[in-house]
Amino acid sequence: MFQQTLDQLKRSLGIMKKDIRIYYLKGPVIIFGVLIPLFLFLAFLTGSRNLPIEFLVSGLISMTILFTATSVSPVIMPWEAQMNTLERLASCPVSISTILMGDMMASFIFGVGVTSVPVAIGLILGVGVIHPFVLAMGIFVAAVCFSFLGLLMSTIPTNAPSNVMMLSTMVKFPLVFISGIFIPVENMPYWGKVVASLSPLTYFTDLTRYSLQGSHHYPLTVDFAVLLLFTVLFFYLAVKLHKKTLPMRI
């Protein structure tokens, strides 16, 4: 049993390396993973007045982790199907969960790597990280969570990456505006707080605010517990749905 698990892990690492070589520099990954959160932040920055720099940087970190971790994983399956390489991959001795774990790890590395940039920008601007361990753990957990969210969005049986990116955009933009990035959760009306509580991004934003500003809306245990719960849920649904839709792509 241990040897089988180790073999599947090695295959996941092989898939991860393949994804990194092929997909990191793809147009949609750069546009949706790097440029859009940057433009959103700049638009928010120019329209904001007298907001603490810690508040602005924490929002940038939250947007970056969402957009980067969900920019690679949604497009892998449709691109594989479009290039007629998915059938060859499916015929290998690997399970769906192994394939998805490899895709997740590639997306995770991209998400963590790019998110380190706004963290560095914050440090350059004089933003102090009050709780660096909490911030690091939050970034790692959120990167895994949102990578699986991206895999879940790629379950629609299409060979056109543009169709998946359209769905991805329709999911990510509402999450940005309901998750306390622009308006703190505590300043929202009651219905806004209810809606915000349904978004995993809300809990990561809460962790970044605690790490940079020392304030938080939810207990830290709740933030991490809900992020982990969403991670398990997204992974479970992604595996189940990809098993159903994979034959439709081949």
CA distance 9 to 16: 10
For residues 101 and 144, give the distance between their C-alpha atoms in angstroms, rounded to a whole number.
Answer: 10
CA distance 224 to 227: 5
What are 225-234's contacts with CB under 8 Å, separation 24+? 226/200, 227/138, 227/141, 227/142, 227/145, 227/200, 227/203, 228/141, 228/145, 230/145, 230/149, 230/200, 231/141, 231/144, 231/145, 231/148, 234/145, 234/148, 234/149, 234/151, 234/152
CA distance 250 to 174: 32
Using CA atoms, how far residue 176 sits from 101, 105, 209, 229, in Å, is 26, 23, 15, 20
- DSSP state letter for 35: I
Indicate the residue type of 157: P
CA distance 187 to 226: 21
Residue 141 has what pLDDT?
Answer: 96
Helix (H) or strand (E) holding 182: none
Chain-centre distance of CA 146, in angstroms?
3
User: Under the phi-then-psi rule, with left for phi > 0, alpha for psi from -120 to 50, and beta for the rest, what region is 127?
Assistant: beta
pLDDT tens track for 221-243: 999 999 999 999 999 999 999 88
Question: CA-to-CA distance for 45 and 43, rounded, in angstroms?
Answer: 5
Residue-wise pLDDT for 32-78, tens only, equals 666 767 776 676 666 555 778 888 888 889 988 998 888 888 877 87
Predicted confidence band of residue 114 (pLDDT cuts 50, 70, 90): confident
Say which residues have a Cβ less than 8 Å from residue 225's Cβ, sequence separation at least 6. none
SS3 179: coil
Over the stretch 135-193, which tens digit does the pLDDT of each residue have? 999 999 999 999 999 999 888 877 777 777 788 888 888 898 899 888 888 888 999 99
Return the higher-pLDDT residue of 209 and 1. Answer: 209
